[in-house]
Amino acid sequence: MRRTSQSDNHTDTLLVPTRRRVAVASLELGMYVCELDRPWNETNFAFQGFPLLTPGEIRAVRSCCDYVYVDDTRRVRLQHGAPVATGTPRVRKPQERTYHALSTEVEEARAAYQDGSQLIEQVLADVQHGRVIDTRACHGAVKRNLESMLRNESAMLWLIRLKNKDLYTSLHCLSVSIMAMGFGNHLGLQDDKLQLLGMAGLLHDVGKMRIDPQILNKPGKLTPQEFEVIKRHPVFGLEALRAQPGVPEAALHAAYGHHERLDGTGYPLGSGPGQISYMTRIITIVDAFDAITSHRAYDCARPVQAAFEILRSGSGRQFDEDLVLEFIRWLGAFPVGTLVELHTGEVAVVVEKHKQFQLRPRVVVLRDAAKQRCAPRYLDLAQVTVDAEGTPYRISIGLPDGSFGLHIADPELQSILHPRTLADFEQAT
């Protein structure tokens, strides 16, 4: 090995004759990754070769690879611990998709969601009784849900809010599957990887079917002994899925690892970041968010903003920090299906997100300024829409489900999703 020159108390480029293999645990800032231990198209990196300029980029490589090859002839020179070169690995831009209006997509989304609900209930029953699950049907359901999401994700994002706490586990699995695919699309993953994410989400919690229902659905706080029982469900999930034909490896990793933490304090193994795959990190975030915002036998749903704060507070320790930021950016400050109060005091529900303007979704007003029931009124906040005084409409705050007698699962809100109603709303703007 030959060193070039030294100046200003820093070392210039190191020259070596060939590339070398490096375990991801040994990666350092400044190293130039020239080859992975898998094809580039199986990752979310936009460049086939890049320098490691930030700790987040090292984490991204560790999340999807066991080892890589580095080219020391292209190692980035550092000054005072900071890179002096540009060019970073970053997620691909989402592909351009054919967009369907919400009124057009909602019926197909509803049919796909209902069929998926029935399927996952059957899958969980099969796991509970030790039967072979229909993995082919699971792949088909995931693909159908993905196709709907890609046409207009707001339809599915609305439907996954409709959980019955008595069916929490099954609908939670379906919701995590759907949300993970939407998030993965935001990250720029290819369609085949999105389907793997969907399967991982759909099957991640099957191990709970082998937990005593009295413990699983206990309304009060678990004892330490009961919590130890709950902590075994990832092991049960791995055992159940490993014996099934047609279950992708991503689903095995997610079932076993979705309660692991980056700081090594999770379960069942207490794995560190090097053992938690990229897809499992995605499932972990979506799983936590959906659980926090859902009504369960032992906990009430909390507002979206509270869930975001929990994810932020756990970033770097429990959750991948970069993915948390992207997840919040994807869902937006006021996700589909959440209640909001407008600057006028009126209360509305978000029915469709805007691709660019997070704070300006499409909403339907359901309560007037005095918080009394009123005729539904559609507002597209991305358009110049003003109140009686000429002030543009804006959202003041988000509200928890149930505010002012408005529950997402009630017929009053569900009637909004009728295709004819939506079409009338869309034509009015």
Question: pLDDT (tens digit, 9 = 90+) per residue, 153-183?
Answer: 999 999 988 766 656 778 999 999 999 999 9
Q: Return all residues near 279 (Cβ < 8 A) that are at least 6 apart.
A: 193, 196, 197, 200, 250, 253, 254
Question: What is the average per-residue pLDDT within 5-31?
Answer: 61
pLDDT of residue 95: 66
Q: Could you tell me the pTM of the whole model? A: 0.76
- For the cut 80, the answer to whether the pLDDT of residue 193 exceeds it is yes
* Cα–Cα distance for residue pair 71/20, rounded to 1 Å: 7
The answer to whether residue 122 is domain-embedded is yes
* Cα–Cα distance for residue pair 330/327, rounded to 1 Å: 5
pLDDT range class, residue 294, cuts 50, 70, 90: confident
User: DSSP for 317-384?
Assistant: TTB-HHHHHHHHHHH-SS-TT-EEEETTS-EEEEEE--SS-TT--EEEEEE-TTS-EEEEEEEETTS-
User: DSSP for 62-100?
Assistant: HHH-SEEEE-GGGPPPEETTEE-------BPPPPP----
Which of 291, 308, 331 delimits the end of a domain?
A: 331
Q: Considering its fold, how many domains does the chain have in total?
A: 3
The answer to whether residue 153 is domain-embedded is yes
Same domain, residue pair 28 and 120: no
What CA–CA distances, in Å, run from 92 to 32, 133, 188, 320, 349? 19, 34, 5, 18, 32
pLDDT of residue 165: 60
Same domain, residue pair 159 and 264: yes
Are 315 and 236 in contact by the 8 Å Cβ rule? The answer is no
Beta bridge partners of 69: 21, 35
Same domain, residue pair 78 and 119: no
pLDDT range class, residue 298, cuts 50, 70, 90: low
Of the candidate ranges 79-93, 248-262, 395-409, the one whose mean pLDDT is the lowest:
79-93
The whole-angstrom distance between residue 8's C-alpha and the CA centroid of its chain comes to: 46
Same domain, residue pair 210 and 271: yes
Of the candidate ranges 42-56, 156-170, 315-329, the one whose mean pLDDT is the lowest:
42-56
Domain containing 113 equals 102-331
Same domain, residue pair 193 and 151: yes
What CA–CA distances, in Å, run from 42 to 73, 148, 176, 425? 26, 23, 22, 42
Give the distance between the most distant pair of CA atoms in the chain: 78
Query: What phi, psi does 233 have (nearest 5°)?
Result: -65, -30
Which of 49, 83, 117 delimits the end of a domain?
A: 83
The answer to whether residue 169 is domain-embedded is yes
Of the candidate ranges 238-252, 257-271, 398-412, the one whose mean pLDDT is the lowest:
398-412
* Cα–Cα distance for residue pair 388/253, rounded to 1 Å: 55
Same domain, residue pair 139 and 270: yes
Same domain, residue pair 325 and 347: no
Same domain, residue pair 345 and 315: no
pLDDT range class, residue 302, cuts 50, 70, 90: confident
Q: Return all residues near 223 (Cβ < 8 A) that are at least 6 apart.
A: none
Q: Which tokens in the block code for residue 356?
A: 């660019």
Beta bridge partners of 50: 33
Query: What phi, psi does 91 have (nearest 5°)?
Result: -70, 150
Same domain, residue pair 160 and 282: yes
- For the cut 90, the answer to whether the pLDDT of residue 296 exceeds it is no
What CA–CA distances, in Å, run from 56 to 44, 85, 88, 316? 14, 16, 11, 10
Element (H, E) at 10: strand 10-11
pLDDT of residue 47: 63
Q: pLDDT higher for 13 or 75?
A: 75
Q: Which residue has the tokens 């300029």?
A: 53
